[in-house]
Amino acid sequence: MHGLRALIFSVGLFFLCAVGFAQGADSVQFLVTSQALNGTAGAQNLNPTNNTSSNSQQLFGDAKLSKNLSAEIGLTASQRDYSSIVLLEKNGQSQNLGTRFNKTEWAGQIKASWAQAAHLVEVAEKKSLSDSPYSQRSHTFSYTGRGPYDVFKAGATLNETITDQPVSFFVARDYSTQQRPDLLDAYSQSIWLEYALSEEAKIRGTLLHGSRHADRPDHYGEEIKLGYALSPLYSLRFALQNIDEQQTPLLDERGRFNSKSIDAELTWLINYRAALMFGYGLVLEEENNKADGSSEKIGHDIYSFGASYRVASVMLTSNLLYQATSQHTEEFQAQGGVLWEL
């Protein structure tokens, strides 16, 4: 019932804002996302009947404020099922988070962009606006620069995300009961360079770093993307990524993670109105040195499909994603959206 009320409210808000923005906004976008999970990825003793779902509705509007400055504002309503999250209390008893929280969560975001010649600077702020067991606030700064004739591009992104989480405990490696941190302050940085190999091909390399000192080791990663235009109608994209956590002391019962992934995507531009996208990805995750001395490997197969269709100044979009893991868990996600260019 919460989800239906939020959906009706968001649809109404979308049309009200669309009319209000018509005098000054450049575009208005509305997205609806639904996600279903069968099982809990990464957990032991999986229960295949433990199905959870979540839904969200997002509204975005952007406007050009001056020759160089533009702004975007967004609002998100989410309905999450927390029944798969079990919190351990200090006395050893377990409590299901889904029985404690079942409300629609609201979040807002605002972004400002400054473009001058070959330079683009963006600053964004996102914050939870209502009660949430995992309320967040984040700040993002990014820069992009272009070389002559767009032969190369380079950029960097800095982000800080602060998350409040409910009080819970865990059994440490020395078998004592310890409290998890109730505040997680995470930082991430990335730098990238993109180069046009020819009129048909371009390559991008990215270096990644992230830290969350309250409970996880730092991690470093590398990513390579290659895009190739097969023809005016077809294009291919390949990506490789590797992320490793550092050999620093572990602070909770979880082990040290590393992941490797590869994905490919084919885009078909049917005509100037319609396009289709088909994608496949493979992710291999490994967790070593868990508190009980065990290790775990998980493989993910990810299949995706996307479609878009333009009618005058309105773009209709849809995206489907299916993920299956070697632990016999499944995830399905569907998203539909409308982009109205004013």
Q: Which of 187, 263, 182, 254 is nearest to 219 (CA)?
A: 187
CB atoms within 10 A of CB 214: 15
Q: Which residue reads 């700040």 in tokens?
A: 139
Alpha-carbon gap, residue 266 to 296, rounded angstroms: 32
Number of domains in the chain: 1
Q: How far apart are CA 299 and CA 322, in angstroms?
A: 14
pLDDT of residue 27: 87
What is the structure's pLDDT at 26? 81
Give the Cα separation of 98 and 88 in Å (integer).
14
pLDDT of res. 50: 54
pLDDT of 44 reads 35
Q: What is the pLDDT of residue 24?
A: 62
Buried b (16+ CB within 10 A) or exposed e, 300-324: bebebebbbebeeeebebebebebb
Reference 55, options 95, 1, 129; nearest CA is: 1
DSSP letter, residue 150:
G
Q: List helix spans (H) across the chain.
A: 2-21
341 forms bridges with which residues in the sheet?
A: 27
Look at residue 156 and give its three-state secondary structure: strand
pLDDT value of residue 137:
96
Domain housing 325: 2-341
Q: What is the CATH number of the domain that holds 32?
A: 2.40.160.40
Low pLDDT (below 50) residues in the chain: 1-3, 5-6, 8-10, 12-13, 16, 19-23, 40-49
